[in-house]
Amino acid sequence: MTRIFRIQSVLLTAILAIFWFPTKLGAQSNEVDVVIHLRGVDESKISLLALNQARLFKPIIEVNGIRNGEKTTLRVPRQYLPGEFVLRFDYKENPGSTSYPSEKSCFIADQGWELFVQPQYCNNNDSTWFQEGEKENSAFMDFSSQSAEQLEKISLLQNLLLRYDDSGSNLFNECIREYEKRRKSYNQWINECIGRDETLFVSTLYLFHYIPPTRWEGSEQDRLSHLIDHYFDEMDFSNPMVIRTARMGQWMDNYVNLYGRMATSLSLRDSLFSLAGFRAIEKAKKGNPQVYGWMVDYFYRGYETNGINAGMKVLEPYLNDPDCLTNKRMEINRRLKGMETLVPGRPAPEISMKDSEGKTFLLSTFNPETPYTLLLFWSAGCSHCVEMVEKIYPWSMDPAVKDKITVVAISLDETEEELKALEKKKSGLTGWKHLHAPGGVNSKVAIDYFVLATPVMVVVDNHTARITGTPDTFEYLKALIR
């Protein structure tokens, strides 16, 4: 699984907080047609991708075989509107040539539009353009262009302040005054843009560029603490439109990143990320129930994929709140129960399933000669799992380790592509016991072991059939098996 908290190090993106103002946008009730005119290629498959609950863009419409000079109409279902989308083109420049992908971000609200597109240059305004009178995308492109011009000058001052080594000098103080003047002017310009475009969905996105005040005096730790303390100062969580864009997730990633930059160990990271979740959810719960639920879901995904049990405990009090419209109530409850069940000293739940040779595998009768068994829940379609497997396999095959632990790899792959990747990957993992659980995370074995995301590791003592540990890193696994 991709890690949800994307830790970054660029201060500018970290301090460009969003400050949302109430919007006059109403609920979308009608389907909208967008028309794509294809130019400059032999043919293309055209896909429209929308955000899903996991903050990933997934196809909702696909049209094959659109040829040069033709047009196609994509009818966008109302449940996705208004929102941020990605248009994807898998095009061939000439008959028989290899297919190449290109993507263009776009916005769709209550106005249908037409796009004249040359896929090779779909983000070049000279080669790809919307029809005259299109509002949402044209307004956002105009805003982004003017914003970039102003931010370039502000960034120069910011870089100077970050690198200057004499914070008591007149030059340093003069730079602060100039920075503040430009920051306030820029923020005032954003407010004017919001007022001008308040009926457009994209006006909700403008304040991603809002620059809050920064405490330049003191250490970097002081600056980070100040940014954290004021990150949500003017955030309006009552606006449900904020969760209909990928920008909301990116903004929250920047918020979590501020905490991550203060972490000097895994245990401190877990503590800081748990605190980040508590502060953010407490702010969001005062707003729209959809945004409140989105915030709980966001931190659930981060805590689950990073194995932060302390964070899961933070989420528990919100599950019984009727105002919290979380989509992950069942999964969070399941994980909390798993945290109570899969602890050292508890009996390992029984596993009964077919192995790769078609024979019945029972954990209770599995009797390897090693003192420990590693139950590794993984997916060949999960890059993080593959990275973990590539670390564990050579280590487990080392003669000094091979006499201590037996690996039972339980695949939760489901799709045809994943299963093909599994068969290919298994051929290089000889010496392991391989099992496949049809149904993936909804299979009985995944439910019994409270697996909601991969990879998951459970070490079992073969003499007592009890759990020794549930390591969340390769280093922790090696420390258990000495």
- pLDDT at res. 330: 67
Q: How far apart are CA 467 and CA 315, in angstroms?
A: 26
Q: Is the peptide bond before 59 cis (omega within 30 degrees of 0)?
A: no
**Measured distance CA(462)–CA(466) in Å, rounded:** 8
**120-141 confidence digits (pLDDT tens):** 999 998 899 999 999 999 999 9
Distance CA 137, CA 116 (A): 13
Pairing of strands 433-436, 405-411: parallel
Tokens describing residue 292: 């409140």
How far is 173 from 420, CA to CA, in rounded Å? 62
- What percent of the residues of the chain are helix, what percent strand, and what percent coil, each to the nearest 5? 45, 20, 35
List of residues 6+ apart from 112 with CB closer than 8 A:
32, 33, 34, 35
Q: Which domains does the chain have, with CATH numbers?
A: 11-23+144-339 (no CATH), 32-134 (2.60.40.180), 352-480 (3.40.30.10)
Cβ partners under 8 Å of residue 133, min gap 6: none
Q: Nearest-CA neighbor of 186 among 224, 213, 225?
A: 213
The pLDDT of residue 408: 95
Who contacts 254 (Cβ-Cβ below 8 Å, separation ≥6)? Answer: 8, 13, 14, 16, 17
Nearest to 473 by CA among 262, 325, 270: 270
Strand order of the β-sheet with 57-67 is: 57-67, 43-51, 83-92, 100-108
Low-confidence ranges of the chain (pLDDT < 50): 1-4, 6-29
